[in-house]
Every structure is written in structure tokens, then in C-alpha cells.
Amino acid sequence: MTRARPAVCASRELGTITCRSRDEFNQRFLVGNPSRPFTPSAASFEVEQYLAAQGQRFDDNCYLLLSSAWTLANLGYGQKNYAEGVLRITAPGYVIGVDRDMLIPPTEQQHLAHLLESHGRPVKFEILSSIYGHDAFLKEYDWFGPRIAAFLAGK
């Protein structure tokens, strides 16, 4: 009998699925790995254990606050539209998209960079190819670190 999960744990499990890419899950959980024979029950068990562990990593209140902040993040907040909100930004910008990001697809990142650039705002735009999807910034230190350091140093 499966134990019921608290809503916050289930929410974090869902968040983990959407913050990572299908490619990572395929590599991590047997699918397409010839060295580990695929059986639906084995893959299901591994995925369930991984998601359950992710669901337990956050304090409930911390996750609720993070979810609220994430939901309320809106560059157009308090303005007539998104563009007016974005164009309040006058500092140089560095927009990084991740090719497998399901939460903020690279097309949205590119749109943001283009909007800034088309209004004379200094902006640099890059796309990272990463199996880690939205969570790439947590995993791809060797890619992000030098680029962000160089940007902040004005290079």
C-alpha cells in the first residue's frame, strides 16, 4: 500500500519533472541505456524513489514561499504590458536560455533579449544546450561561472 504524499511533496515532485528534461530522465532511469536492461517496473521504482527524495528535500513553508515568488515573478507587473515593464530595465543585461527548459523556453528568453536590444538596451544573449533543463543553472557550473564572471567584470 502506497503512503499518501503531502501536497507540498507532490508539488515538488511535479516541479522536479518540469525543471529537468526528458533527456536527463531517459539517461538517469534506464531508458535507452544498453548496459542496464529496461523493465517498466524497475524504471518506475527508480523514478518514484528519485521524485520522493526530491519531494522531501524542501521544508513545506520554504517551498510554498518559493512557489509564490515564482508565480508572482512578472517583468510587466504594475505596467500596462510586459514590454513596458521590461523597458524599465536600463542596466546591461545578460539573458541565458537553456534549450530544454520547459518552464521558460529559450524562445521567451530570446524575445526578452530582442525587446531590450530593439530599444537600445545593452544585452547579451546565449543559449546553453543542457539535459538539465530549467535546473541547468544548478548543475552546469563550468559553463555558467566563467560567463557570468566575465559579464560582471565588463568583458
Distance CA 89, CA 47 (A): 41
16: DSSP letter: H
Report whether 151 contacts 41 (CB < 8 A).
no
Q: Tens of pLDDT along 95-128?
A: 999 999 988 899 999 999 999 999 999 999 999 9
Give the Cα separation of 155 and 151 in Å (integer): 6
pLDDT recorded at residue 24 = 74
Q: Which residues contact 39 (CB under 8 A, 6 or more apart)?
A: 30
What's the confidence (pLDDT) of residue 1? 44
End-to-end Cα, the chain, rounded Å: 58
What distance in Å separates the CA atoms of residue 30 and residue 144, rounded to the nearest whole number? Answer: 28
Virtual torsion, Cα 21, 23, 25, 28, nearest 10 deg: -140
Question: Angle formed by the axes of helices 60-72 and 7-19, to 10°?
Answer: 50
Give the 3-state secondary structure of residue 76.
Answer: coil
pLDDT band at 155 (very low <50, low <70, confident <90, very high): confident
Q: Is the pTM of this model over 0.85?
A: no
Amino acid 70: pLDDT: 72
pLDDT digits (tens, 9 = 90+) for 119-144: 999 999 999 999 988 889 888 999 99
Q: What's the pLDDT tens digit per position in 10-65?
A: 666 666 666 677 777 777 666 555 665 555 555 556 777 777 777 666 666 776 77
